[in-house]
Chain A
Amino acid sequence: MDVKLERINKSFGQVQVLKDIDLVFPSRKFITLLGPSGCGKTTLLRMIAGLEPVTAGTIRFGDRVVNELAPRDRNIAMVFQSYALYPQMTVRRNLGYGLRVRKTPKAEMDAAVGRVAAILEISHLLDRKPAHLSGGQRQRVALGRAMVRQPDIFLMDEPLSNLDAKLRVTMRAELRRFHLDLGATTIYVTHDQLEAMTMSDMIAVMHGGIVQQFGTPAEVYGMPANLFVAGFIGSPPMNLIPGKFRGGEKATFVSPDFSLDLPDASRQVVDGQEVVLGARPQDIALVPGDTASATGRGQVWVVELIGSEKLVEVTLGDRRRITAQVRAETAVNVDDAVGIQLDPRRVHLFDAATGLALRR
Chain B
Amino acid sequence: MTRNQFWTLTRRLVSYAVLSAVTFVVCFPLVWALSTSLKPKSEIFAMPPTLIPKTATTENYKALITGRPQYFQSGGQQVTSGTTPAQFFTRWFFNSVIVTLGSTLITITVSTLAAYSLTRFRYWGRTVVPYFSLLGYMVPSIIFVFPLFLVMVQLNLTDSLLSLVLGYVCITLPFCMWLMWAFMRSIPIEIEEAALIDGASRLQVFRQVVLPTALPGIIAAAIFSMIVSWNDYLFGRVFLNSLDNLTLTVGVMLFFEGTHVDWGLLMAASVLMTVPMAILFMALQRHLVAGFGAGAVKG
User: Which A residues have a C-beta under 8 Å from some C-beta of B?
Assistant: 49-51, 70-72, 74, 76-78, 80-82, 84-89, 97-98, 101-102, 145, 149
Contact = CB atoms under 8 A, between A and B. Distances in A.
A72 B213 contact: no
B184 to A, nearest CB: 14
Contacts of A102: 199
A51 B198 contact: no
B188 A77 contact: no
Contact of A76 (B197, B204, B212, B215): B197
A84 B191 contact: yes
A82 B201 CA distance: 22
Contacts of B195: 86, 97, 101
A70 B196 contact: yes
B198 A98 contact: yes
B244 interface: no
Contacts of A76: 197
Interface string B193-210: 111111111001000110
Interface in B168-201: 188, 190-191, 193-201
Contacts, number: 65
Nearest to A155: B197
A77 to B, nearest CB: 7
Contacts of A86: 191, 194-195, 209, 212-213
B194 A78 contact: yes
B213 A145 contact: no
Contacts of B191: 84-87
B190 A82 contact: yes
Contacts of A78: 193-194, 197
Nearest to A74: B197
Given A82-B188, A84-B190, A85-B191, A71 B213 contact: no
A101 B199 contact: yes
A145 B198 contact: yes
Nearest first, the 5 A-B pairs at minimum CB distance are A98-B198, A84-B190, A84-B194, A88-B212, A72-B199
A51 B213 contact: no
Given A86-B195, A86-B209, A88-B215, A72 B200 contact: yes
A89 B198 CA distance: 14
B209 A72 contact: no
A71 B188 contact: no
A51 B189 CA distance: 11
Contact of B197 (A72, A82, A87, A89): A72
Given A71-B193, A84-B190, 16 more contacts: A50-B197, A51-B193, A51-B196, A51-B197, A72-B199, A78-B194, A80-B193, A82-B188, A82-B190, A84-B194, A87-B191, A88-B213, A88-B215, A98-B198, A145-B198, A149-B198
